[in-house]
């Protein structure tokens, strides 16, 4: 019995040794329902001039339109195409033979996020109902490890995330929907955000403005220095459902700016500088027909399983916009994050293998 305990202790030490000798932090970020078409080609020519979806066509074209798709995408997401492309890896441009897909057949948000966070598809999760996820997410798994206890958190715009992450069981703090910052010693910024959030009218019943998610998350990061933080921005999906292409584009540009803000902070903070990896993706695609179904996604819409992935920061080689790559699936993201943190993602049921082309 004693021999078994010693072996178990050695195994446990081995599991943690990487993260202790070479500490790594991970920021997982998702842009809800943001199409790969806009990411890689910028504003859609058939949508930006469509009066049904854009009220201020000339103004929007002045901001986002150019005949050169590389200039268009640079105008839309300048951080991605000026900085990330130089220091990281971007996958999902199907024109270049780079495929990234979710694998669940439902192609809506809860199944998509569960697939990303758990590492496998659960056929019982087939819609967006507010039910506690019976599966342990990678966030919960990492938070359960002694080396990371209390060093994991999530900030999300959609109010279903406390169920997706199963906040009650997991113990992972989740600030989502219209929740305020809580706890003692709130910063002045947190107090101001709490006040403004309660005063503003709501556009959607279940999704708040991404600015609140971003700034709540950043204040938490500054105070608590989590090793694994998950931030989910939601506006792009809801503006898409609304058929508001103007707001969809402007929200995408702002999300790009939020990501740059986080990266600049990380590079200025010794706890994170040169130790932090960013992984950014989406939970599903959207319809590809710019007239009929770009607003929608789901099992009946073709190609809405098509997404994208970008990685940059510590341990990531600069490969830029990757072409002719091995297909990547959302089920691989959870185990990839665990590898970056220096732990092996354990699960009783099969999960996707780490993405070796990113790690090598």
List pLDDT tens digits, range 306-335.
Answer: 999 999 999 999 999 999 999 999 999 999
pLDDT level of residue 23 (50, 70, 90 thresholds): confident
pLDDT for the residue numbered 170: 98
- In the chain, where does DSSP find H-type helix? 2-21, 36-41, 45-48, 57-64, 69-76, 78-79, 85-87, 109-118, 138-144, 161-164, 167-170, 188-199, 210-224, 235-241, 245-268, 333-341, 356-359
Structure tokens at 106: 């439902």
pLDDT at 129: 98
User: What's the CA dihedral at 137, 233, 229, 76 to 10 degrees?
Assistant: 130
Alpha-carbon distance of 184 to 187, in angstroms, equals: 9
pTM of the prediction? 0.94
- For residue 347, what pLDDT is reported? 63
Structure tokens at 324: 């002719």
Paired sense of beta strands 309-313 and 276-281, if any? antiparallel
The CA distances from residue 87 to 16, 277, 312, 337, in Å, are 28, 11, 6, 18
3-state class (DSSP) for residue 307: coil
Q: Could you report the per-residue pLDDT of 50-102, keeping only the tens digit for each?
A: 999 999 999 999 999 999 999 999 999 999 999 999 999 999 999 999 999 99
Mean pLDDT of the chain: 93
Burial of 22 (0-12, 13-18, 19+ CB in 10 A): exposed
pLDDT at 7 over 50: no
Tell me what pLDDT residue 16 has. Answer: 39
Q: For position 348, what pLDDT does the model report? A: 58
- 23 Ramachandran zone, left/alpha/beta (phi>0; psi -120 to 50): beta
Is-contact 240 234, C-beta < 8 A? Answer: no
pLDDT (0 to 100) of residue 291: 78
CA distances from 127 to 104, 106, 153, 211 (A): 11, 7, 24, 26
Residues 263-290 have a mean pLDDT of: 96
- Residues 225-240: pLDDT tens digits? 999 999 999 999 999 9
Residue position matching structure tokens 């938070």: 143
Mean pLDDT of 279-285: 98
Three-state SS at 241: helix
Tokens of 8: 């178990």
d(CA 90, CA 321): 5
In 3D space, the residue among 95, 13, 138, 83 whose CA is nearest the CA of residue 318 turns out to be: 83
Domains and CATH numbers, the chain: 24-359 (3.40.720.10)
Quote the percentage of the chain above a pLDDT of 70. Answer: 93
């Amino acid at each position: 019995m004693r021999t078994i305990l010693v072996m178990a202790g050695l195994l446990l030490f081995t599991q943690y040794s990487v993260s202790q000798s070479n500490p790594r932090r991970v920021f997982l970020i998702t842009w809800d329902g943001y199409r790969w078409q806009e990411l890689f080609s910028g504003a859609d020519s058939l949508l930006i001039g469509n009066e049904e979806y854009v009220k201020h066509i000339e103004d929007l074209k002045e901001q986002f339109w150019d005949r050169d798709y590389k200039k268009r995408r640079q105008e839309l997401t300048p951080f991605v195409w000026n900085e990330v492309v130089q220091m990281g890896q971007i996958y999902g441009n199907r024109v270049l033979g780079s495929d990234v897909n979710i694998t669940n057949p439902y192609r809506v948000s809860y199944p998509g996020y569960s697939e990303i966070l758990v590492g496998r598809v659960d056929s019982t999760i087939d819609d967006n109902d507010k039910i506690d996820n019976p599966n342990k997410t990678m966030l919960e798994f990492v938070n359960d490890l002694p080396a990371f206890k209390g060093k994991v958190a999530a900030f999300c715009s959609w109010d279903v995330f406390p169920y997706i992450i199963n906040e009650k069981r997991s113990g992972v703090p989740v600030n989502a929907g219209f929740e305020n910052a809580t706890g003692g010693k709130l910063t002045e910024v947190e107090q101001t955000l709490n006040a403004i959030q309660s005063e503003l009218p709501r556009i959607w019943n279940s999704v708040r403005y991404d600015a609140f998610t971003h700034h709540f998350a950043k204040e938490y990061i500054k105070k608590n220095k989590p090793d694994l933080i998950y931030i989910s921005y939601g506006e792009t999906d809801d503006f898409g459902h609304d058929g508001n292409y103007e707001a969809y584009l402007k929200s995408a540009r702002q999300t790009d700016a939020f990501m740059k803000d986080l990266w600049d902070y990380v590079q200025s903070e010794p706890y994170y500088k040169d130790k932090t990896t960013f992984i950014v993706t989406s939970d599903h695609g959207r319809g590809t027909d710019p007239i009929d179904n770009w607003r929608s996604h789901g099992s009946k819409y073709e190609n809405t399983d098509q997404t994208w992935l970008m990685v940059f920061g510590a341990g990531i080689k600069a490969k830029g916009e990757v072409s002719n790559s091995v297909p990547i699936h959302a089920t691989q993201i959870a185990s990839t994050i665990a590898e970056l943190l220096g732990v092996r993602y354990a699960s009783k049921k099969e999960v996707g293998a780490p993405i070796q082309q990113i790690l090598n």
